């Protein structure tokens, strides 16, 4: 009996020594927690569902092995430099409320002990959440907020993968300019006088207000005339007076920055009042939410929206098709601009952690400032991801770019987004002018 006890003690001692001698990577690694703050309820819940699904898909691919997906993170089975640690996403719902967003960020940092934060879609919420991260020295990667001001504050703990609204609004005016130069597929050069007069209606939070100001600024630069600018509450239940005001100035081009519920209401009201613009363009968000197409159906044929991803990208980028096919099987529809940006945000987090080989904030900060993800690893048609470390836009991805899609109906009656801009990637003849109501 005593000999058996002595033998057991020897075995335990040997195992203990082996444990001490084993490299860190050989031991079971703890999951790396990333706090993700999105609008999962409220007026932007549709976008929130897309964002969450995109983020979850990226984490699933990172944490396992998918030989049929042509990206490095699909072969890693976790973060190798952290002992193959898995990424765990801890989701919180900010409901579109900046104050709640800040409170959730504190909870994630102090109670959930996350190593970093991602989000928050609404620029106003991202503004307060990033301030909390800056206060606590916790890294934040912003995947989906587009107010230009967010990367003009000189923050040391904030990085943004998505292009911001200056890029997207530049695309809009280059698109309008290209129309006058005959660059749009299937459309002869349009005399500028036919698209000279613009009118905009934008929801009045941080994001929409910035879009409205940018439209005014770029219109002057490109020689267009803004006849009317309206800021409205995204939670409005009636937009009749706003649409009436837009129609009264007889604009050639109508421009919008709206979330899902107000985008749907806006289009229904435009139809009810028989609006007839030659161009109708939305600043992504609600104009690309699945509910927008499912609810309005034929009424959106000819509508344009800016985005960072369209399923048609799969025809020119293999990895985009691979991931989009996987997403369709899981969710039932293709990736949208929102889900593609969330996917790419988690991908950036994985690359930063891999490079850092640590969960210490200072190591993550150093890695984020040095990271460069090549274009062939991304589903979005960017040149890559590399964050600015100096200049006006500190923390901004300098390799991102935008697209403009147009809702069109194919011969089978299916409505989908075709690439309209960049012109050299156009996948169908542009519908011009907008059919109207």
> Are 147 and 81 members of one domain?
yes
Segment 117-127 mean pLDDT: 96
- Count of structural domains, the chain: 2
- In a shared domain, residues 414 and 276: yes
In a domain, 149, yes or no: yes
Residues spanned by the domain of 58: 26-163+316-385
Q: Tell me the three state secondary structure of residue 139.
A: coil
The SS3 call for residue 372 is coil
Is there a domain that residue 7 lies in?
no
Q: State the first-to-last Cα distance of the chain, in angstroms, to the nearest integer.
A: 92
Query: Position of tokens 């500028």?
Result: 192
The confidence score (pLDDT) of residue 283 equals 87
**Strand pairing report for 253-257 and 304-307:** unpaired
Question: What's the average model confidence in pLDDT over 5-30?
Answer: 43
- Same-domain status, 36 and 123: yes
Residue 372 has pLDDT above 70, yes or no: yes
Is 338 a domain residue? yes
- C-alpha closest to that of 326 among 89, 52, 142, 54: 54
Strands 158-160 and 140-142: parallel
Whole-prediction pTM: 0.84
**Does residue 148 sit within a domain?**
yes
Pick the range with the lowest mean pLDDT from 110-114, 115-119, 140-144, 407-411: 407-411
Whether 157 and 125 share a structural domain? yes
pLDDT of 357 over the 80 cut:
yes
Q: What percent of the chain has pLDDT over 70?
A: 94
131 located within any domain:
yes
Shared domain for 177 and 297, answered yes or no, is: yes
Report if residue 15 sits inside a domain.
no
* pLDDT score for 5: 40
- Here the CATH number for the domain that contains residue 411 is 3.40.50.2300
**64 lies in the same domain as 111:** yes
Q: Is 359 helix (H, G, I), strand (E, B) or coil?
A: coil
Which candidate, 125, 131, 156, places its Cα nearest to that of 143? 125
> Residue 23 pLDDT more than 60?
no
Is residue 19 scored above 70 in pLDDT?
no
Classify 78 in phi/psi space as left (phi over 0), alpha (psi -120 to 50) or beta: left
Distance CA 319, CA 143 (A): 19
Q: Is the same domain home to 149 and 171?
A: no
Same domain, 159 and 176: no
Residues 273 and 408 in one domain: yes
Residue 119 and residue 150 share a domain: yes
Q: Is the dihedral of CA 259, 185, 399, 327 positive or negative?
A: positive
Residues 417 and 284 in one domain: yes
CA distance 197 to 247: 12
Q: How far apart are CA 64 and CA 343, in angstroms?
A: 15
Beta-bridged to residue 87, according to DSSP, are 32
Q: Is residue 8 part of a domain?
A: no
21 token code pair: 């001698």
Q: What is the pLDDT of residue 239?
A: 95
H helical segments located in 260-375: 260-272, 290-296, 318-331, 337-356, 361-370
Reply yes or no: is the peptide bond before residue 116 cis, omega within 30 of 0: no
Confidence of residue 286 (pLDDT cuts 50, 70, 90): confident
Same domain, 185 and 143: no
- pLDDT of residue 27 exceeding 80, the answer is no
Q: Mean pLDDT over all residues of the chain? A: 91
Q: Is residue 78 part of a domain?
A: yes
Per-residue confidence band for 230, with pLDDT thresholds at 50, 70 and 90: very high
Q: How far is CA 273 from the centre of its chain?
A: 32
């Amino acid at each position: 009996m005593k000999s058996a006890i002595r033998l057991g003690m020897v075995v335990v001692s040997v195992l203990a020594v082996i444990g001490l001698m084993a490299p860190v990577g050989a031991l079971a690694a703890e999951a790396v927690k990333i706090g993700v703050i999105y609008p999962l309820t409220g007026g932007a819940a549709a976008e929130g569902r897309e964002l969450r699904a995109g983020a979850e898909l990226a984490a699933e691919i990172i944490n396992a092995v998918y030989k049929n997906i042509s990206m490095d993170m699909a072969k890693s089975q976790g973060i190798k430099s952290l002992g193959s640690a898995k990424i765990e996403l801890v989701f919180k719902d900010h409901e579109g409320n900046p104050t709640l967003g800040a409170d959730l960020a504190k909870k994630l940092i102090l109670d959930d002990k996350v190593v970093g934060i991602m989000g928050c879609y609404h620029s106003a919420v991202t503004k307060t959440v990033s301030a909390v991260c800056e206060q606590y020295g916790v890294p934040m990667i912003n995947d989906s907020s587009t107010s230009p001001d967010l990367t003009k504050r000189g923050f040391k703990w904030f990085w943004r993968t998505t292009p911001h609204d200056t890029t997207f609004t530049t695309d809009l005016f280059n698109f309008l300019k290209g129309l006058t130069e005959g660059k749009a597929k299937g459309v002869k050069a349009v005399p500028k006088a036919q698209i000279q007069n613009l009118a905009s209606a934008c929801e009045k939070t941080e994001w929409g207000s910035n879009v409205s100001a940018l439209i005014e600024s770029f219109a002057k630069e490109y020689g267009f005339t803004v006849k009317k600018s309206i800021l409205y509450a995204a939670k409005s239940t009636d937009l009749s007076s706003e649409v009436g005001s837009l129609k009264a100035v007889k604009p050639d081009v109508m421009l919008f920055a709206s979330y899902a519920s107000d985008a749907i209401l806006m289009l229904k009201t435009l139809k009810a009042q028989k609006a007839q613009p030659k161009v109708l363009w939305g600043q992504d968000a609600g104009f690309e939410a699945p509910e927008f197409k499912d609810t309005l159906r034929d009424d959106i044929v000819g509508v344009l929206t800016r985005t960072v991803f369209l399923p048609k990208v799969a025809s020119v980028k293999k990895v985009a098709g691979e991931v989009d096919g996987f997403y369709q099987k899981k969710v039932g529809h293709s990736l949208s601009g929102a889900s593609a940006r969330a996917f790419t945000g988690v991908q950036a987090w994985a690359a930063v952690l891999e490079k850092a080989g640590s969960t210490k904030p200072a190591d993550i900060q150093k890695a984020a400032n040095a990271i460069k993800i090549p274009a062939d690893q991304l589903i979005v048609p960017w040149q890559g991801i590399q964050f600015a470390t100096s200049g006006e836009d500190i923390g901004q991805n300098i390799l991102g770019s935008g697209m403009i899609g147009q809702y069109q109906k194919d011969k089978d009656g299916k409505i989908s987004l075709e690439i309209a801009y960049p012109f050299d990637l156009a996948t169908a003849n542009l519908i011009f002018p907008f059919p109207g109501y």
